[in-house]
Amino acid sequence: MRIIGGKFKGRRFTPPAKNWPTRPTTDFAKEGLFNILQNMLDFASVEMLDIFGGTGSHCYEFISRGCTHATYVDKHAPAVRFVKKTAELLEIEDNIRIVQMDVARYISQCVLQYDYIFAGPPYGLAWLDEIPDMIFAANMLKPEGMLVLEHNPNHNFEQHARFFQARNYGTTIFSFFEPEASSED
């Protein structure tokens, strides 16, 4: 795992993930996504949430680029321990809130709103197609917020009411969603 931009650019971490139920985003796909996000977000002012956080890679990229409010959620204890250890190594403990919890439970209990939410669920997750609706039903995005859902070609969100674009990196697809447009003109 490599941090691809910002003050930690080039830092490498090797999670002991041989038997983890995680699928880290490839550097190729992550680099493509962050090239897009670089033009859409002011990282220093973003409050972000990474659900199904796995190795924590998405949080590290945001914090490396100036984000001071990152929340990481994953239920897999070894992954959570790895992220805590990495946060200590990078000295970013004050910038990342680490939550060990089932993602569906976190969404159902969440009372916070975020500027940016990244969901990188296991591709075989039975309720993957429900994730955008769950997040919108819980009102987790700020009015100008954005949700990015990583998935494979077995899922298609182009007909979703809040979908606005998808980017394809081989078998990795990032679908972008936004809150409903305000009816106030």
Tokens of residue 56, six digits: 């924590």
Query: What's the CA gap between 147 and 162, in Å, rounded?
Result: 10
3-class secondary-structure state, position 164 = strand
Question: What secondary structure does DSSP assign to 92-153, as a single string?
Answer: -TTTEEEEES-HHHHHHH----EEEEEE---TT-TTGGGHHHHHHHTT-EEEEEEEEEEE-T
What pLDDT is attached to residue 185?
A: 40
What pLDDT is attached to residue 16?
A: 72
What pLDDT is attached to residue 184?
A: 45
pLDDT tens, position by position, 163-182: 999 999 988 999 999 987 54
Query: What's the CA gap between 127 and 6, in Å, rounded?
Result: 34
Give the CA count within 13 Å in the CB-facing half-sphere of 40.
Answer: 16
E strand or H helix that includes residue 167: strand 163-169
Residue type, 64: S
For the chain (185 residues), the mean pLDDT of every run of 10, in chain order, is 91 74 72 94 97 95 97 95 95 97 97 96 91 96 96 94 94 92 45
Tell me the torsion sign for CA atoms 62, 120, 77, 98: positive
Q: Residue 175: exposed, middle, or buried by beta-carbon count in 10 A (0-12, 13-18, 19+)?
A: buried
As a whole-number percent, the residues of the chain with pLDDT over 70 amount to 93
What pLDDT is attached to residue 23?
A: 57
Query: What's the CA gap between 114 and 94, in Å, rounded?
Result: 17
Q: Residue 94: exposed, middle, or buried by beta-carbon count in 10 A (0-12, 13-18, 19+)?
A: exposed
Residue type, 63: I
